[in-house]
Amino acid sequence: MATNLAIDNKLLNEALRIGHFRSKKDTVNMALREFIQKRRQKDILNLFGSIDFDAKYDYKKARNRI
């Protein structure tokens, strides 16, 4: 899908150089992947403290299942 975007050339060129990408397209696609990954990680952090766990659960015993 062709899309026209007004992207800051200075930022794009710096990302291209730092990331050692071959094209601007590769640079933008990687930036989008990293953005999505980071946002999903933040969503996971919001779950801390909100999930109940069983204090009696023996996680070490579960590791040794064969």
Alpha helices in the chain (DSSP H): 9-19, 24-45, 59-63
Residue 43: CB atoms within 10 A of its CB come to: 9
User: Does 61 reside within a domain?
Assistant: no
Rounded CA gap, 40 and 43, in Å? 5
CA angle 5, 43, 3 (to 5 degrees): 15
Give pLDDT, residue 10: 97
Q: Specify the number of domains making up the chain.
A: 1
Q: Contact at 8 Å (CB) between 27 and 21?
A: yes
Give pLDDT, residue 29: 96
Give pLDDT, residue 49: 78
User: Does 63 reside within a domain?
Assistant: no
Q: Sorting pLDDT into bands at 50, 70 and 90, what band is 65?
A: low
User: Does 15 reside within a domain?
Assistant: yes
pLDDT in tens, 3-52: 888 999 999 999 999 999 999 999 999 999 999 999 999 888 888 878 78
User: Does 56 reside within a domain?
Assistant: no
User: Does 24 reside within a domain?
Assistant: yes
